[in-house]
Amino acid sequence: MNKISIRIPFVDLKIQHHSIQTQLQQAIQDVLEKGDFILGQALSDFEAAFAAASGTEYGIGVASGTDAIALGLQACNIGPGDEVIIPANTFVATLIGVLHAGAKPVLVDCDPQTALIDLEAAAKAITPHTKAIIPVHLYGQMVSPHELLDFADTHKLLIFEDAAQAHLAEREGYRAGSVGTAAAFSFYPSKNLGAFGDGGMLLTRNLDVAQKMLRLRNYGSSQKYVHIETGTNSRLDTLQAAVLHQKLPYLAEWNSDRLNIAQQYDMELAPLAAAGIIPMQNQSDTGHVYHLYVIKIDDSCPLERQQIQEQLTAAGIQTGIHYPIPCHLQPAFTNLGYQQGDFPQAEKLANQILSLPMYPGLTNSQIKEVVATMAFILSGETQQLLHI
Ligand SMILES: Cc1ncc(COP(=O)(O)O)c(C=O)c1O
């Protein structure tokens, strides 16, 4: 089988790392010299810096975004007997986090224009056991803070943001991570702010939540060898924090590069609307941080999503699908009792969405090439395309 050479990757992290390589190496060297690998100085420095940048008070670094959700919910006193509302079309980690906290995930549908949680559907899912809602700021766009705060106030629910894809996103004057009681972030390498491995953080302005989270990530320890709750071992490595802290000052610039790329895609793709290629809606103006640039291939398109994706791959253009199977249809979660048809918008989106290459450093000519290749595929001249 011929190996297809990648002309435009889905993500390219080398560009950002090369631009600050000396700084990154120095930060790593500093930790090696100090030797404070666990709960070291660079961790507390980064926790404070990231919390401040996100417009909130306390940051508690953990091993992953999934742990930030699981432990963060427990730090908010959510657990067995509680129901937590989440969107069906999120990454499974949101759901897994709720389960690990011992609570029951209650899934709801999403808005087909933005893929963000549908708050009207959420209102209908509330029961006397509902304790919290997890808005997922999917693809880098925040769920409307005004609507969320109204919703939480009306129904007396706690807001726990899943901001894994939305570092420094803004909407209606709020930053991601500053709207709810607490918020979870992921520093998975390809995230807008990514580590050199796994990592995550809980942000909160609530001191009790912060203190409980500090214990939970460190074997439930209040002081050395005194354990007042079970907890676990889930700490963000000092080395990872040092790397992330070096990257943080560049994040706003990288996010604005992502926004420019998205605007360029929007412009280039406009003529393909007639062929059923529709970008997901940006309802937050310049505050969308475009972790992913997602288009819908709707029913009016002459080709199936799979055909388009395969032909882009054949032309050396990598794409992704976020996510091809909604949470309620994942084999692991059949015991939650959901079935096909329960969340029609999420199910439809799962079949229609396609994520195009997106990363700081993607050039205008590469964007033009992605769109021109799509136009070419749609025009049916696929045989020629394969021989480019
Ligand atoms: C929406 C969402 N929630 C949670 C997570 C979990 O983060 P992690 O991979 O760091 O555990 C991710 C990222 O993978 C995510 O995209």
pLDDT per residue as tens digits for the range 251-310: 999 999 999 999 999 999 999 999 999 999 999 989 999 999 999 999 999 999 999 999
What sign for the dihedral angle of Cα 311, 312, 315, 318? Answer: negative
3-state secondary structure the chain: CCCCCCCECCCCCHHHHHHCHHHHHHHHHHHHHHCCCCCCHHHHHHHHHHHHHCCCCEEEEECCHHHHHHHHHHHCCCCCCCEEEEECCCCHHHHHHHHHCCCEEEEECECCCCCCECHHHHHHCCCCCEEEECCECHHHCCCCHHHHHHHHHHHCCEEEEECCCCCCCEECCEECCCCCCEEEEECCCCCCCCCCCCCEEEEECCHHHHHHHHHHCECCEEECCEECCCCCECCCCHHHHHHHHHHHHHHHHHHHHHHHHHHHHHHHHHHHHHHCEEECCCCCHHHCCCCCEEEEECCCCCCCHHHHHHHHHHCCECCECCCCCCHHHCHHHHHHCCCCCCCHHHHHHHHHEEEECCCCCCCHHHHHHHHHHHHHHHCCCHHHHCCC
pLDDT per residue as tens digits for the range 20-29: 999 999 999 9
pLDDT for the residue 363 = 98
Half-sphere exposure of 127 (CA within 13 A, CB side): 10
pLDDT for the residue 380 = 79
Atom of ligand 1 nearest to the CA of 137: 1
Q: Is the pLDDT of residue 344 over 50?
A: yes
Say whether pTM exceeds 0.75.
yes
Gap from CA of 55 to ligand 1 centroid (Å): 21
pLDDT for the residue 236 = 98
pLDDT for the residue 387 = 44
Q: Kindly give, in sequence order, each residue whose CB lies less than 8 Å from that of residue 306, ignoring residues fewer than 6 positions away.
A: none
pLDDT per residue as tens digits for the range 75-95: 999 999 999 999 999 999 999
Q: Is the pLDDT of residue 123 over 70?
A: yes
pLDDT for the residue 2 = 62
Mean pLDDT to the nearest integer, 327-337: 97
Q: Provide the mean pLDDT of the chain.
A: 96
pLDDT for the residue 383 = 47
All structural domains of the chain, each given as residue ranges with its CATH number in brackets, are 14-109+116-250 (3.40.640.10), 251-387 (3.90.1150.10)
With the most atoms of ligand 1 within 8 angstroms of its CB, the residue from 67, 160, 165, 292 to mutate is 165
pLDDT for the residue 385 = 46
Number of other residues whose CB lies within 10 A of the CB of residue 208: 11
pLDDT per residue as tens digits for the range 152-165: 999 999 999 999 99
Q: Is the pLDDT of residue 376 over 80?
A: yes
Gap from CA of 198 to ligand 1 centroid (Å): 10
The span from the CA of 378 to the CA of 66, in Å, is: 39
pLDDT for the residue 222 = 87
Mean pLDDT to the nearest integer, 220-246: 95
> What would the two tokens of residue 387 be?
């021989």
Q: What percent of the chain has pLDDT over 90?
A: 96
The protein residue with its alpha carbon nearest to ligand 1, atom 8, reads: 65
The protein residue with its alpha carbon nearest to ligand 1, atom 10, reads: 65
Mean pLDDT to the nearest integer, 348-374: 98
Q: Is the pLDDT of residue 124 over 70?
A: yes
With the most atoms of ligand 1 within 8 angstroms of its CB, the residue from 73, 186, 289 to mutate is 186
pLDDT for the residue 256 = 98
Q: Is the pLDDT of residue 49 over 90?
A: yes
Output the ligand 1 site: residues, CB below 6 A: 64-66, 90-91, 93-94, 136, 162, 164-165, 186, 188, 198, 200
Q: Is the pLDDT of residue 373 over 70?
A: yes
> What would the two tokens of residue 144 be?
């409307």
pLDDT for the residue 1 = 53
Atom of ligand 1 nearest to the CA of 191: 13
pLDDT per residue as tens digits for the range 64-74: 999 999 999 99
pLDDT per residue as tens digits for the range 35-45: 999 999 999 99
